[in-house]
Structure 1
Amino acid sequence: MNRILVIRTGAIGDLVLTLPVIGALRAAYPDAQIEVMGYPSRLSLIDGRYYADRISSIDQQEIAPFFSENSSLSDRLVSYFSGFDLIVSFCVDEDGVFADNLRRTGAGQVLSLNPIPDPNCSAHIIEHLLEPIRALGVPVTETSPKIFLASEDRKFAEAFWQEHRLEQAVAIHPGSGSRKKRWRPERFATLSDWVMRDLEAAVILISGPADEDAVMEVANRITAGRPVILETPSLVHLASIIERCGCFVGNDSGISHIAAAVGTPTVAIFGPSDAEVWGPRGDHTVILKGEIDCSPCTREQMNACPHTSCLGLVEEREVREKVKGLLTACGRAAPERRTREMGADHMPDGTPGIRRVFM
């Protein structure tokens, strides 16, 4: 097995949840070149960092005919795909047309799986994603995602710490892909006050491209000190900063999956989604969820829900207790750095009173 291609579309969390698949392929075929196709801004998390020797974009005009039957395929892409001994595709491909067209190129072997499990599936999404390579006979020894940062990534976080004169810090991400998945801003604010007053730690509020309103709703309620607002960082820089924090608290979002995958003690607050299927996995990860009959629910039910009582049932006291417990258990005075031995071709090792950091 000389060349392997993994095709993974979807959001940030979807990529993180696929890492055990790529990691198993890396372990089974250590001399193979592994390429991952998807959205480059997200794939930067793994580019040259253990999993991917090379990344490529699926957002190409010539890719579109591969999703149509009896279409004329690009000679360039036919030549490109035919060069792989194994292609593992995690694209929504209900009629199998995309996979069939990949086979038409002459690629060695094509495995395809719909990344969205059956609604009645109770297994964790990672177990679902591992099905194709398990069927191939690839051994799987690690089912929790792990992100391996490079030395230059950690140097960036160290410089960030020095610039902002930080010692201990807790990262908080109040946003999510849906407003219906967000814990109440006043509770995030009260939690932030407790972190600064009782733990004597700094608070880093993480703001992604669609999180500004959610973050400012929290920041404007904080009274104990000045949080650092980290705005639209690259995913690699974000991961390096979260790794250095003593703890992370967030909603059901891709950022919570990153926090768990870099090894930071993580408290993830879930509401409408099924945490048994979609929750982050990690050695020091706790998921809090209010128990209510209507949760978990479908996306349609979530969008129509007028109250999201499931999130309201998670109290700030519960989150405080989990944060304290994780900090005590993990002794987080410094980041637990992930490293992995690899060959030479892989990774070598605003509002007044608010500090806003643009990256």
Structure 2
Amino acid sequence: MPKAINNDIKNILIIRLSSIGDVLKCTVVIDKLRNHFPNARISWLVETKSKDVLLGNPNIDEIIVWQRKEWSKQARSSKNYWKFARQLFQFTKEIRNRNFDLVVDIYGAPRSGIISYLSKAPVRLCYTGSRKYSHLCANIHAVPDYTTSTTATQFYADILRPLGIDRDDLRMQMPILPADRSFAETFLHDHGISPGKYIAINPSTSWQSKCWPSEYYARLADMIIEKHCLPVVILGAPGDVPLVETITRQMQQQPVDASGKTTLRQLAALAEKAGAFISGDTGPLFIAEAAGTATISIFGPTDPAWHAPKGERHITLSTNSCSCKKSFCEDKKCLTAILPEHVLTTFEELAKKIGLIEHHAIK
């Protein structure tokens, strides 16, 4: 990228839509852009479900929420597709009127590519070979280097190389606000739980195929409570309440059911204060990672080498993950082969390492 153009960058738009986990992983680019362009205004285009991941980030000046799915749902129910078209037109017009100098399209899908192109930004960055030719809407391209980009966060950070920004720190960023920490402290106090002395379990995922069986979670939670006298807090969004109720009905012990009782940011605060976090491949797992909490992740149809948390405080379990990437699976053999007893042993190994339980407490 020519230095003259680089120096002219004053107004930046990052586009990363889709799921909570994917948006969170892309936050590795924020501080790099801020350090490289200290005087620039940085905005992020995101969908409604993932906006809370970005709220409170000091390196983001504005969060632009694209209500595409809400508009689409309204159009289908009312059959008023002209209104949907007008909403899209007005939205793209507002993006163009913001006069962005640089668009970083990390999403790389047709809709993000079109938004990037219609922004009329003089510098539009995307990966080459992005999905369905969205890179054709960009005029500067990052070439994937799979010899060094061995994880999702490394891959996302590498998109900045054409700007002269090297990959170094790969920490995800999700600031937890004082009000959310206050909620977590009150919640734990009301249930007689000490911060750092409980296990958080998040059993739900966005794909049926990524969900470890409910009876397995029930058995694991029972063993943790019975053997180590550690409280278990089960987390989940409002839509996860039926699953969590199924798990609690299958248990002999009594966990704390927090499903449907928190916002995403309050969930993050509870994850931050947990001694350890157990989950499948889903957004809250990466929230816990970003918060610095030790994690045990259970992977099935997705690639743990690419997606799973890395480091001494994180352990991933998989049966040489099939990586089929199917959102639905009838038998889920790759997950059912991971038994609760195996996860308990892994938990005990991690808990000893981080000082959550003592060596002699394991019999």
**Structure-2 residue corresponding to 1:57:** 65
- The answer (yes or no) to whether the contact 1:49–1:150 under 8 Å persists in 2 is no
CA 1:307–1:76: 2 relative to 1, 3 Å: closer
CA 1:289–1:231: 2 relative to 1, 3 Å: same
CA 1:192–1:137: 2 relative to 1, 3 Å: same
1:256 aligns with 2:272: no
1:18 aligns with 2:47: no
1:110 aligns with 2:124: yes
**Structure-2 residue corresponding to 1:331:** 355
TM-score, scaled to structure 2? 0.78
Instruction: State the aligned residue count.
Output: 318
Structure 2 gap ranges (5+): 1-8, 72-82, 134-145, 358-363
Measured in 2, the distance between the counterparts of 1:255 and 1:309 equals: 24
1:109-141 residue CA offsets vs partner (Å, 9 max, x unmatched): 2212477699xx783222332232122111321
Q: 1:181-196 alignment to 2 at 5 Å?
A: 181-196=210-225
Shift of residue 269, structure 1, vs aligned partner: 0.2
Structure with the higher fraction of residues in helix conformation: 2
Q: Tell me which of 56, 67, 89 is aligned to 1:48.
A: 56
Q: Tell me which of 102, 107, 117 is aligned to 1:100.
A: 117
Q: Secondary structure at the match of 1:207?
A: coil
Structure 1 gap ranges (5+): 334-359
Measured in 2, the distance between the counterparts of 1:27 and 1:331 equals: 36
- The answer (yes or no) to whether the contact 1:85–1:108 under 8 Å persists in 2 is yes
Q: 1:221-260 alignment to 2 at 5 Å?
A: 221-231=250-260, 233-260=262-289
Backbone CA RMSD of aligned residues: 3.0
- Of structures 1 and 2, the one scoring higher in RCO (CA 8 A, sep 6+) is 1
Q: Which amino acid aligns with 1:177?
A: S
- The answer (yes or no) to whether the contact 1:266–1:286 under 8 Å persists in 2 is yes
Q: Which amino acid aligns with 2:169?
A: E
Q: Which amino acid aligns with 2:350?
A: L
**Structure-2 residue corresponding to 1:136:** 163
- The answer (yes or no) to whether the contact 1:47–1:54 under 8 Å persists in 2 is no
**Structure-2 residue corresponding to 1:197:** 226
Measured in 1, the distance between the counterparts of 2:227 and 2:130 equals: 43
Measured in 2, the distance between the counterparts of 1:3 and 1:57 equals: 17
**Structure-2 residue corresponding to 1:6:** 14
Measured in 2, the distance between the counterparts of 1:66 and 1:280 equals: 38
Q: Tell me which of 333, 337, 340 is aligned to 1:313.
A: 337
TM-score, scaled to structure 1? 0.79
Q: Which amino acid aligns with 1:320?
A: L
- The answer (yes or no) to whether the contact 2:233–2:255 under 8 Å persists in 1 is no
Q: Secondary structure at the match of 2:242?
A: helix
Shift of residue 72, structure 1, vs aligned partner: 9.5
CA 1:64–1:246: 2 relative to 1, 3 Å: farther
Between stretches 240-249 and 48-57, larger displacement belongs to 48-57
Measured in 2, the distance between the counterparts of 1:158 and 1:116 equals: 43
1:28 aligns with 2:36: yes
Shift of residue 144, structure 1, vs aligned partner: 3.8
Q: Secondary structure at the match of 1:211?
A: helix
Q: Tell me which of 143, 160, 180 is aligned to 2:187.
A: 160
Measured in 1, the distance between the counterparts of 2:32 and 2:51 equals: 18
